[in-house]
Structure 1
């Protein structure tokens, strides 16, 4: 167990967060339990976060910033903490997502992480490995904070119809996930198109990919395998995938038609019937 007296603030963003939380709490003359009572968390949780044994959440950080008058320090730090908890191979991609002005994604078999609900993300991440599942889920959902920036990226997602029909997490989880996609209808910076099965052969048959575009840097194409990510700024690859994406958008349903398909799938496969799907096992 890490002892607070030997916590090294330079060891990691999580350790630095814990160090700053303890420093500001003590400066306010509060015990862990007293601070917990103020922000509606347990004193035990405050202690675990101070000793880098538990990940803070954005909500926790906002409440403590308000309680201790830290000027938003912990809310700024929690972004770094969450990013540092990504697998090493994915940290660069999380950074790209945070810096991009435009993100274009094609997904063949599941909902993109930036559009996932917490329950859906938990089912995806826990399909094979359920260790530290709460923290891993929180880290994934925290990536969606890029949409809360003053200038959020324009995000365009083309999802294969298969991604909507794969019953990840069971009936109720999928119903909530589809409803979550519909919630973006009035958000002009987040656009979702569905590539229907009826499109037949299409430009994305080789697999999922993302294209990240930046204000001043070259565009980057990202593809992913099992436990590895492959970002590249190779101009030929970027040109090829950009052309493929244009064709995928042309083959996909319009935004309105896509929303109608999502609604029909909710009624067809994920209605109000009892949830018999259960958690996925593979």
Structure 2
């Protein structure tokens, strides 16, 4: 059992967050319940976060900073905390992803993680039966913040048409997810193409891959297998992946035609049930 008196702030970002929250709270002469009242949560939640039994959120961190006048301390810490919740094998990829100036990915099974809605991500991550699903979902949402930076990475995404048809999370989750993809048609830095089923055999039947390019470092190719991820900067692999991606983009629909297909699938396959019920009553 975790105990607040025995937390080692050097053990992990989460331990440091809990230790620092307790230190700052006590320095302001506040009990857990009193701080909870100020930031509109329970004292029990404060205690759970201080003892690492609960993962803090970004919203919680921002409210703590405002209440305790900590100059953004917890808002800065939360990024490290949430990244630490990612599987250890995935953390190096997340660190490289956050530094990349250009991302290009082909996804054969699922919507690219940076474009997933919270509900879609929860459905995907739940399939692995993790011990802390909430923490994994929060970590995935935190990764997406790179797309909201003043200078985000240029991001090209090719999705297999099968991704649109697979009902991950159910009808409403898929409708919201496809609507989210359509929102990116107005995003200056993000471009989504769909590889139609009609393309038949194509350049990446072996599976998904992602290329990360940097301003001052060699390109990296990232792939995953059943239980882990792999990164390489091997020049021959980079050349092969670049060639394959160019062929995928050539076979895919244009950005405009892809958006039209996504919209059509959303309406025909994942129709808004509330509206269809209203029509049926009328």
1:222 partnered with 2:206? no
Which shifted more, 130-139 or 201-210?
130-139
Residue 26 of structure 2: aligned partner: 26
Structure 2 counterparts to residues 122-161 of structure 1, below 5 A: 122-129=122-129, 131-161=131-161
Residue 79 of structure 2: aligned partner: 79
1:166 partnered with 2:166? yes
Structure 2 counterparts to residues 1-282 of structure 1, below 5 A: 1-129=1-129, 131-273=131-273
Secondary structure of the corresponding residue to residue 105 of structure 1: strand
Q: 1:128 to 1:82 in 2, by over 3 A?
A: closer
TM-score (norm 1): 0.94
Structure 1 distance, partners of 2:37, 2:148, is: 28
Secondary structure of the corresponding residue to residue 79 of structure 2: helix
Secondary structure of the corresponding residue to residue 183 of structure 1: helix
Corresponding residue pairs, total: 274
For each residue in 1:126-146, what CA deviation from the matched residue of structure 2 results, as whole angstroms up to 9, or x when unmatched? 124153222222122221122
Whether the aligned pair in 1 keeps the contact of 2:82 and 2:135 (CA below 8 Å) is no
Secondary structure of the corresponding residue to residue 56 of structure 2: coil
For each residue in 1:30-56, what CA deviation from the matched residue of structure 2 results, as whole angstroms up to 9, or x when unmatched? 221121122222111111111111111
TM-score (norm 2): 0.94
Structure 1 distance, partners of 2:264, 2:181, is: 13
Residue 280 of structure 2: aligned partner: none
Give 1:149 shift: 2.7
Secondary structure of the corresponding residue to residue 185 of structure 2: coil
- The two structures, once aligned, show a CA RMSD in angstroms of 1.3
Stretches of structure 2 lacking an aligned partner (at least 5 in a row): 275-282
Structure 2 distance, partners of 1:219, 1:121, is: 27
Which shifted more, 128-137 or 116-125?
128-137
Residue 280 of structure 1: aligned partner: none
Structure 2 distance, partners of 1:69, 1:151, is: 28
Secondary structure of the corresponding residue to residue 216 of structure 1: coil
Which shifted more, 62-71 or 172-181?
62-71
Secondary structure of the corresponding residue to residue 90 of structure 2: helix
Residue 278 of structure 1: aligned partner: none
For each residue in 1:149-193, what CA deviation from the matched residue of structure 2 results, as whole angstroms up to 9, or x when unmatched? 332211111000001111111101100110111111111111111
Structure 1 distance, partners of 2:85, 2:12, is: 10
Structure 1 distance, partners of 2:215, 2:144, is: 20
Deviation beyond 4 Å, 4+ runs, structure 1: none
